[in-house]
Amino acid sequence: MPPMSPEFSTSVKLKYVKLGYQYLVNHILTLTLIPIITAISVEILRLGPDGLLSLWTSLHFDLVQILCSAFFIIFAATVYFMSKPRTIFLVDYACFKPPVTCRVPFSTFMEHSRLILPNNPKSVEFQMRILERSGLGEETCLPPAIHYIPPKPTMNAARGEAELVIFSAMDALFQKTELKPKDIDILIVNCSLFSPTPSLSAMVINKYKLRSNIKSFNLSGMGCSAGLISIDLARDLLQVHPNSNAVVVSTEIITPNYYQGNERAMLLPNCLFRMGGAAILLSNRRSERRRSKYRLVHVVRTHKGADDKAFRCVFEEQDKEGKVGISLSKDLMAIAGEALKSNITTIGPLVLPASEQLLFLLTLIGRKIFNPKWKPYIPDFKQAFEHFCIHAGGRAVIDELQKNLQLSSEHVEASRMTLHRWGNTSSSSLWYELSYIESKGRMKKGDRIWQIAFGSGFKCNSAVWKCNRTIKTPLHGPWDDCIDRYPVHIPEVVKL
């Protein structure tokens, strides 16, 4: 057997040093209390029953002191339990699975592009290059109106897509949870680019004949991170409305937003965005504790809209020919990185173990006092979470977060496979990713999940969940007929 190389030996020793450091710092309170409790136990054994009895009789308590102490304890306990936030449970969720007839293979997409833009071969070639490097697969779907040549993005077609996606997700949620429409107290629907009158939330109320006193909200224009904004809004409402159920519907309607012009910055969304939607049931009812899948721990929202570049990096506007589209700025990734840093700064102290926070603090002090050129310490978020759901906005987004957060390929597998199978489904992509992890049988009781989403404005939002129970592989869901094929190898470039 060849001798162990010095580099490997050193790296192994450093690994165990780091593990020892993490254990020491994270369990410092326990390690401190053990000798104190041991000393007290030894002293109690030394005194014996007679010594303890004489010690108790030597203490003089009158009735007033006893009553005052009891009152104070009861008052403190009452204040604590009344001020404690209600626990928010995620009972279950359902993702929309588009029909096979909506599938758009690369060949179909490119053929349509050539027919729609016959006089602009450069625009067609640009879309082909984007598609080759996008990370999307051959089974992503577009709504029926986009399959026409040229596309027919009418209001009726857009409403038809909304009804198909939202009602399918809601029906699946009702079937999974056995929830009755009359039991919904709060309804929140988020869809960034399609905002008809009456609203999408009113459409749901009309379809399922929900109660007249339901608290309904319709969020629009908030981009791909609107799903977590809806979760945050639902959490706040559930804090003030006891014994309530909240349903959140996250989707993006593609039909009215398919760009048919020549501006490259506006053609990019055509290559990435696809059909998708999800319906989520949240509750603060204690009776839902046992069957709920997750418990909401934190929601952290970061908004960079005060900066002009950040505000305009994802912008709906008209091109020179008057055609409306979504323009994506070249600065998008840099702005997303800054938003992520701000979000991490806020969420880090809430979730990171003491060992990581101490290292970060010491590095920060060292850079301020000794040497500003010291490399900043990037906290190891793998110590805080078992699973990561990164918004499947595109291959570049996932690559950047994997690099910045120093994640392994397995940590970003759910995001990459979701992008490959479903494309960028906007705010609902996080739920397809969570469903992927469950379908792989990886979600265990006590596991912590970090959902990260980016959206126009510019926003970076995070949600932290904790798994309530080990989740069995779902029998019905978006991945049920293809999970065995995943993960798949996704080449850097797919030649078309």
The single residue of 141, 262, 284, 303 carrying the catalytic annotation is 303
Q: Taking a C-beta distance cutoff of 8 angstroms, is the pair 423, 273 a contact?
A: yes
Does residue 112 carry a catalytic annotation? no
The single residue of 190, 343, 424, 468 carrying the catalytic annotation is 424
The single residue of 271, 391, 460, 461 carrying the catalytic annotation is 391
Which of 69, 147, 34 lies closest to 101, judged by CA? Answer: 147
Does residue 271 carry a catalytic annotation? no
The single residue of 224, 313, 389, 467 carrying the catalytic annotation is 224
Instruction: Name the one residue in this structure whose structure tokens are 């949600």.
Output: 463
Does residue 468 carry a catalytic annotation? no
Which helix (H) or strand (E) segment is 18 a member of?
helix 6-26
The single residue of 95, 190, 411, 420 carrying the catalytic annotation is 420
Q: Taking a C-beta distance cutoff of 8 angstroms, is the pair 422, 392 a contact?
A: yes
Does residue 420 carry a catalytic annotation? yes
Q: Who contacts 463 (Cβ-Cβ below 8 Å, separation ≥6)?
A: 228, 231, 232, 296, 298, 299, 300, 450, 451
Q: Taking a C-beta distance cutoff of 8 angstroms, is the pair 268, 207 a contact?
A: no
SS3 384: coil
Backbone dihedral angles phi then psi of residue 54, each to the nearest 5 degrees: -65, -35
Does residue 68 carry a catalytic annotation? no
- Count how many Cα atoms sit within 13 Å of the Cα of residue 35 in the half-sphere of its side chain: 3
Which of 91, 175, 92, 94 lies closest to 477, judged by CA? Answer: 94
The single residue of 387, 411, 460, 461 carrying the catalytic annotation is 387
Does residue 303 carry a catalytic annotation? yes
Transcribe 453-479 into DSSP letters.
EEETTTEEEEEEEEESSPPPPPSSSTT
Q: Taking a C-beta distance cutoff of 8 angstroms, is the pair 237, 186 a contact?
A: yes
Q: Who contacts 93 (Cβ-Cβ below 8 Å, separation ≥6)?
A: 173, 278, 279, 280, 281, 293, 431, 434, 435
Burial of 86 (0-12, 13-18, 19+ CB in 10 A): middle
Residues serving a catalytic function are: 224, 303, 387, 391, 420, 424
